[in-house]
Amino acid sequence: MSLEEVLQEAEAEAIVLRQHGHLDQAKTLERMIQKVRASAAEYLEWMSEEDATLYTGRNVRWLRSRFAAWERRGHARWHHARRQYRRIILEHRGNAESALTAGRSAAVGERPIRRRRP
């Protein structure tokens, strides 16, 4: 059972507790679920192959060469016929966060903000 499945089960249990009038128990369980999600955010986040290349500074060929091994370990998957990678397995390199933001902005047609040099 994956962490995502465990969290989904716990969320369903909180709903049942709430429906049966056990509000304090439901709230306690919901707080615990939120804490687990926050502490495991990098593990729970899946990145598209495009975002993973921007995040890591690596090319698609490098990612794909590791895909099978990562998939066996649960860190890569096929989702709607596209490769995805858990953020926790990817090394963040350089200023890739800016590249990721710029890439997403370009995808929706926004122009990146350019700062003037003094």
pLDDT of residue 105: 78
Q: Examine the pLDDT at 59 and tell me if it is beyond 70.
A: yes
- What pTM value is reported for the model? 0.71
Mean pLDDT of the chain: 90
User: Whole-angstrom Cα distance, residue 24 to residue 8?
Assistant: 19
Per DSSP, the three-state class of 5 is helix
C-alpha distance from residue 45 to each of 15, 16, 28, 76, 95 (Å): 24, 27, 24, 11, 19
| 1-34 per-position pLDDT tens digit | 899 999 999 999 999 999 999 999 999 999 999 9
What pLDDT is stored for residue 110 in this prediction? 62
User: Percentage of residues in the chain with pLDDT exceeding 90?
Assistant: 74
